[in-house]
Amino acid sequence: MTTLDDATLLAYHCGALEPGAQLEVEAALAHDPTLPLRLRELAGRLIEPPPTDPYRIPPPGMGLAGFGLQGTQGMVMSEGEVLRPGDRFRVELRPQTAPDATRVVVLYQRDGWEVVFPTRPEEEVMVQALPVGEEGERLLDLAARGRSGRQRWAVALPPKDMPIDWAADDDVRWGDLRRGIALGTVPVASVEIQVR
CATH of the domain at 134: 2.60.40.10
Mean pLDDT score of the chain: 81
Q: Residue 81: is its pLDDT beyond 80?
A: no
Overall domain count for the chain? 2
Backbone φ/ψ region at 138: left (φ over 0), alpha (ψ -120 to 50), beta: beta
In three-state secondary structure terms, 188 is strand
Confidence of residue 65 (pLDDT cuts 50, 70, 90): very low
Strands 149-156 and 105-109: antiparallel
pTM of the predicted structure, to 2 decimals: 0.67
Task: Say if residues 128 and 140 touch (Cβ distance below 8 Å).
Answer: no
Confidence of residue 119 (pLDDT cuts 50, 70, 90): very high
Q: How much is the pLDDT for 126?
A: 94
Q: How much is the pLDDT for 78?
A: 47
Residues 91 and 164 in one domain: yes
Please check whether residue 164 lies inside any domain of the structure: yes
Residues 124 and 153 in one domain: yes
Task: Say if residues 157 and 69 touch (Cβ distance below 8 Å).
Answer: yes
Q: What are phi and psi of 190, to 5 degrees?
A: -125, 155
How far from the centroid of its chain's Cα atoms is residue 137's Cα? 19
Hey, which residues does 89 pair with through a beta bridge?
76, 142
* Parent domain of 138: 64-195
Confidence of residue 92 (pLDDT cuts 50, 70, 90): confident
Average pLDDT over residues 45-55: 63
Residues 87 and 183 in one domain: yes
Q: Residue 147: is its pLDDT beyond 50?
A: yes
